[in-house]
Amino acid sequence: MISLVENAPSTPLGDYKLLKYEDLRDLIEKAITELPSQVADSRELLEREKEIIARAEQKAQYIIDSAKREAKEILNESAVIESIKQESRKFYESTKLDILELEKQTQKKIEESLSKAYREAEEIKENAYAYAALIFEQMEHLNKSAEKVIKSGQAQLKNYAEKPPLDISDSQLLKDKIKTVITEAQRV
């Protein structure tokens, strides 16, 4: 996208670039199509986070269940069983806190990505409007210049129409007159 703008021809009016309407439209459409892709990527991150949470909860539950079974099978002492329960709860709570923190971070990244995508889309839209306004301004300037050339040519034709006919036997004189008319028209 940037290379298209950088490689576009410059206008004679300054540091402006001249882009074809189709190229500009393609740039805007590309920005519009990339925005849903970024939203989809954010949703995919959220789905993966849910999977991680589910697996972590299953693993934590498995550890708790395993610890309960082993404690009942191996030891009958209530102090040992209580200790294992406490450790399992601590691990489960710790895992739960880690999951919540990961969920917050993921949500924050999703929101930042969406915000950035919307800002970039708005910037592209604003630049497109500004560029279109510049093109119209340049076209108006070119139209005014063309009108000046036409009026000058008409005035010169009128002046030549009022003068006596040229002696076309002198071809050098005729060539000089034609060059003069072309030079004057180019200056306008």
Q: For residue range 82-135, what is the model confidence (pLDDT) as tens digits?
A: 777 888 888 888 888 888 888 888 888 888 888 888 888 888 888 888 888 888
End-to-end CA distance of the chain: 37
The average pLDDT across 14-18 equals 73
3-state secondary structure of 17: strand
For the chain, domains (ranges, CATH) are 2-146 (1.10.287)
The average pLDDT across 149-174 equals 70
Percent of the chain with pLDDT over 90: 0
Which letter does DSSP use for residue 10 in this model?
A: B
What are the DSSP E strand ranges found in the chain?
Answer: none
Structural contact between residues 4 and 23, judged by C-beta atoms closer than 8 angstroms: yes
Which letter does DSSP use for residue 20 in this model?
A: -
Rounded to 10°, the helix 171-187/78-162 angle is 140
Summary mean pLDDT of the chain: 79
Residue 165: per-residue pLDDT: 60
Structural contact between residues 93 and 56, judged by C-beta atoms closer than 8 angstroms: no
For residue 77, name the pLDDT band (cuts at 50, 70, 90).
Answer: low
C-alpha span between 62 and 46 (Å, rounded): 24
For residue 19, what are its two tokens?
């882009």
Residue 166: per-residue pLDDT: 54
For residue 167, name the pLDDT band (cuts at 50, 70, 90).
Answer: low
